[in-house]
Amino acid sequence: MVVNEGLSIGALAARTGLAVSAIRYYEAQGLIRPWRNTGGQRRFERSDLRRLSFVMIAQQFGFTLPEIRTQLDRLPGGRTPTKADWARISAGFRARLDEKIETLTRLRDNLDGCIGCGCLSLPNCALYNPTDRAAEKGAGPRYLMGDRPEA
């Protein structure tokens, strides 16, 4: 019978490119759950490589650690997650990613002109946002955030 010796924190750091301190932080945040060997050293499952990779990618897309932890908590305990497990939690982010893509597309398409802030500083604002109607919808670049000018 093969005994699972797990990965040391150094091996996990080397493989993920994360600092040991970052791995400890993610552990404190409940994103990974190492166990201790008989010598009291932290040991990690190989599946923690995927967990940490997911954390790094999700953070790049602007997800918070609590949001990421909520998704990771949906993974099974006691066994290595399967492709289907990962697909299930990825689906949880799909709607948010679609919203971000839509916002970035609007930004890209409108950045060279008015970004819908209601500043009234451009001649077009007199047409698209007379009397600063955008401000009635709330603070910030309302049209970029998805609000549409009233006809």
Question: Based on the domain organization, do 117 and 102 belong to the same domain?
Answer: no
H/E element holding 35?
strand 35-36
Question: Are 65 and 136 within one domain?
Answer: no
Q: What is the pLDDT of residue 23?
A: 97
User: Are 58 and 27 part of one and the same domain?
Assistant: yes
Do 81 and 116 belong together in one domain? no
- pTM, rounded to two decimals: 0.67
Same domain, 102 and 118: no
Which residues constitute the domain of residue 141?
A: 112-150
Q: Are residues 64 and 129 in the same domain?
A: no
With beta carbons less than 8 A apart as the criterion, state whether 113 and 124 touch: yes
What are the tens digits of pLDDT across the range 83-130? 898 888 888 788 888 988 888 887 777 666 665 555 556 666 666 667
Number of domains in the chain: 2
